Amino acid sequence: MEIIKLRDDYIKLGQALKAAGLVESGVDAKYAIEDGLVQVNGETALQRGKNW
C-alpha cells in the first residue's frame, strides 16, 4: 500500500500510480489497470480516468 498526499480533492488513478512511483508512465498505468493489477479500497479498479 502506498499513501500519497493530494494537492486537490481528487486525483485520477493513473496520476496517483505515477505520483506513488508505482508505474513509470501513463501507458504503464493504463496496462496495469486494464490487467486488473490495481485495487482501490479493496476493489479491483478498471477505470483509470475515474476520480478517486
pLDDT score, position 47: 83
Domain regions of the chain by residue span: 13-43
pLDDT score, position 42: 87
pLDDT score, position 50: 67
How many angstroms separate the first and last alpha carbons of the chain? 15
Average pLDDT per 10 consecutive residues for the chain, totaling 52 residues: 77 88 94 93 83 58
pLDDT score, position 48: 74
pLDDT score, position 24: 96
Query: Alpha carbon of 26 to those of 1, 19, 42, 50: distances in Å?
Result: 19, 11, 22, 14
Please check whether residue 13 is in contact with residue 38, taking contact to mean a CB–CB distance below 8 angstroms: yes
Residue 45: name the closest of 21, 11, 19 by CA. Answer: 11
pLDDT score, position 9: 81
- DSSP label at residue 36: T
